[in-house]
Amino acid sequence: MLLGFLVLIAIAAIRLRDLFAVVMLFGVYSLLTAALFMDLDAVDVAFTEAAVGAGVSTVLMLSGLRLTRRWEEAPGHRPPLPLMVVAVTGAALIYAMLDAPPLGDPTAPVHQHVTPYYIEQTPLEVGVPNIVTAVLASYRGYDTFGETVVIFTAGLAVLLLLGVGGGHSFRPGENAIGDQTVLKPVVKTLIPPILLYGLYVQFHGDFGAGGGFQAGVIFASGFVLYDLAFGEGNARAVVPPAWLHRLAALGVLIYGGVGVYALFAGKAFLDYSALSANPVAGQHAGILLVEIGVGITVFSVVLSIFYAFSGRRRKS
């Protein structure tokens, strides 16, 4: 049922030429994807998809759309060849699917390799109730460090392309919504709970769904909301863009610093047991520090990309 919805939305998004409608449909699409992840019991993934896919990327696409035209031009190329390539690839993928073991089959290769080790050893070695967090931040800490660096690099690339707040000075309250007597108090009362919720997601990642990635996005969306309702100058006065660039680097430095510290303590890179005499306590501290690093980087990159988009003016 939900998959059918997804296919319908994808087809409609391809057919429509009104880019605004496409952005709206993509928002719906990613909400649905997240609902599917929920159904597969992948709460952490659903969390990320909802926060990043439905929330921030809709806002970013809208602010990008503001800089360009709203209607997509009719494509200039002939459709048969690309259609054939896509059809052949799709057929090959579906053919490969026939050999895949059924969902949840305990003898499937994916459940045979390292998964039993993670499930059995996490309570003993890491002592964190949420196995996803243990795998992400501890067993696979390398990969997550790579992801954090990728996010940092992506933010850097966007800033290089769009320019670092050049040429346009912001007055507080500029472009604020006019006399919105309902909206402004609502936003004002909502922002503290949103930030609190972001902190909860950040520090509760060991126990339930969540972690640095989701928390950074939630935290940033609180500031995006403030910016949307109270004008660009105000949000920039609270969190200046120059700070954000430093914070983004600081997050990566915290993560890498934990790894290098472990090196100096005579252990492997990112081996958290170096952080404390008790290996399990060391794992706890390491995961906490690393998640904070991830959260800081994601928060500042998301917010500075938003600043970069909303700070530009369309040259008409």
Partner 1 sequence: MLTAAIVAILVTMVLALIRAFLGPTEYDRMLAANAFGTKTVLLIALAGHALSWHSFLDVALLYAMVNFIGTIAVMRFFEYGNTRDNEGSGSTP
Residues that bind partner 1 (CB under 8 A): 1, 5, 8-9, 12, 18, 20-21, 24-25, 27-28, 31-32, 34-35, 38-39, 41, 43, 46-47, 50-51, 54-55, 58-59, 62-63, 65-66, 175, 177, 183, 187, 190, 194, 197, 201, 208-210, 214, 218, 221, 224-225, 228-229, 314, 316
**Left (φ > 0), alpha (ψ -120 to 50) or beta: where does 266 sit?**
left
Both structure tokens of 152: 């940092």
- CB-wise, 231 or 241, nearer to partner 1? 231
Give min distance, CB of 79 to partner 1, in A: 22
Of 272, 265, 300, 270, nearest in space to 286 by CA: 272
Query: How near is the Cβ of 43 to partner 1 at its closest, in Å?
Result: 5
| Rounded least distance, CB 134 to partner 1, Å | 16
**C-beta of 38 vs 156, nearer to partner 1:** 38
Minimum Å gap between C-beta 100 and partner 1 is: 24
| d(C-alpha 270, C-alpha 283), whole Å | 10
Q: Using alpha carbons, list the distances in angstroms from residue 161 to 11, 189, 313.
A: 31, 35, 14
CB of 316 to partner 1, least distance (A): 5
CA distances to 200, 201, 220, 244 from 197, rounded to whole Å, are 5, 6, 12, 21
Question: By C-beta, is 134 or 289 nearer to partner 1?
Answer: 134
3-state secondary structure of 206: coil
CA dihedral 168, 169, 175, 181 (to 10 degrees): 160
Nearer to partner 1, 96 or 182 (CB): 182
In one-letter notation, the amino acid at residue 283 is: Q
Give min distance, CB of 295 to partner 1, in A.
15
Which C-beta is closer to partner 1: that of 183 or that of 263?
Answer: 183
From CA 10, how far away is CA 63, in angstroms rounded?
22
Please tell me what DSSP assigns to residue 275.
G
Which ranges of 173-278 does DSSP label H, i.e. alpha helix? 183-203, 212-230, 232-238, 241-264
CB 273 within 8 A of CB 279: yes
- C-alpha span between 255 and 305 (Å, rounded): 21
Of 133 and 273, nearer to partner 1 (C-beta) is 133
Least distance between partner 1 and beta carbon 229 (Å): 7
**Token pair of 226 as six digits:** 């403030």
Least separation, in Å, of the C-beta of 108 and partner 1?
21
User: Smallest gap, in angstroms, from Cβ of residue 221 to partner 1?
Assistant: 5
Comparison of 226 and 261: residue with beta carbon closer to partner 1: 226
Q: Which is nearer to partner 1, 63 or 273 (CB)?
A: 63
What is the Cα–Cα distance from 102 to 111, expressed in whole angstroms?
Answer: 12
* Closer residue to partner 1 in complex, CB, 235/254: 235
Token reading at 313: 């003016």
